[in-house]
Amino acid sequence: MVQSRREFLNTLIRGGILAGLGLLGGGMIFRWVRKGSCGYGGACEKCPKAVECTLPEARNYQQTVWQLDPSKCIQCGRCATNCILTPSAVKCVHVFAMCGYCDLCGGYFKPGTKTLSTAAESQLCPTNALKRRFVEDPFFEYTIDEKLCIGCGKCVKGCSAFGNGSLQLQVRHDRCVNCNQCSIARNCPAGAYSRVPATRPSLLKGSGNEGSSGKKGGPTT
C-alpha cells in the first residue's frame, strides 16, 4: 500500500537525520574530549595555544571572549564608533607598571599647552576621562574614569608617541556582551582582535600577560 511505503520511507529518513545529527554532535564532542599531545609542558594558564588545545586540562580556557592586542593597534578610533554598545566596551587601561609618572604627560596634554594643569583646554581627552593627580615632585599619577572613557584612543596615541606606551586600549568584560561576531573585530584595520580564554581575558603590553595571544574563535580574528 502507498501509505505504508511512504511511512516506511519517512521512518528511514527520520532515522537517517537522527544518525546525522548524532554524528555531528558526537564528532564535535569527540574532538573536544580527545587527548592530544601537549607540546608545552607548562601550566595551561601561560600557554599561548590554550584556546585551541584539545587536552581536558585546557577546557577551562576555552570559553572565550574578545580582546584586542595593543601592539597591533594603530589608534584609528574605530573601537569607539563600531561597538554595538554606547559607549563602547573598549576603554583605555593604564598599565601603571610602565608609566613614567611624567609632569608633561604625552597622553594627557594637548601639544603646545601653556600650563601643565588639569585645565580642560589643555587636555587631549575629549570626555575628561583621564584624571591627573599630584603624587610627589615631580611625579603625577594618571587614572582613567571608565564611566567617561569612550575608547577613542587619543591618549593612547599620545602616550605611545611621546611616552612609554602605558596607556592601552582594551575590551572590558564587565561591559562587553561577547557577541558571536564582534563588530569592532570585523572593522579593525590592523586585525588586532582575537578570542582569548575567558579566564585570562587581557592582552596588555608590559604587564606580563603577553602569553595569551588569542587564536581562532571565528572569522575576523
Contacts of other proteins in 176-205 (CB under 8 A) = 176-181, 186-187, 189-191, 198, 201-202, 204
| Closest to 64 in 3D by CA, of 196, 221, 220, 214 | 196
Site membership for other proteins, residue 153 (CB under 8 A) = yes
Site membership for other proteins, residue 217 (CB under 8 A) = yes
Contacts of other proteins in 65-94 (CB under 8 A) = 65, 72, 74-78, 80-81, 84-86, 93-94
Residue 206 is classified by DSSP as T
Contacts of other proteins in 33-62 (CB under 8 A) = 51-52, 54, 62
Minimum distance between the CB of residue 37 and other proteins, rounded to whole angstroms?
Answer: 15
Minimum distance between the CB of residue 114 and other proteins, rounded to whole angstroms?
Answer: 10
Minimum distance between the CB of residue 120 and other proteins, rounded to whole angstroms?
Answer: 16
177: CB partners within 8 A, 6+ apart: 84, 85, 89
Three-state DSSP class for residue 69: coil
By CB atoms closer than 10 A (0-12, 13-18, 19+), residue 24 is exposed
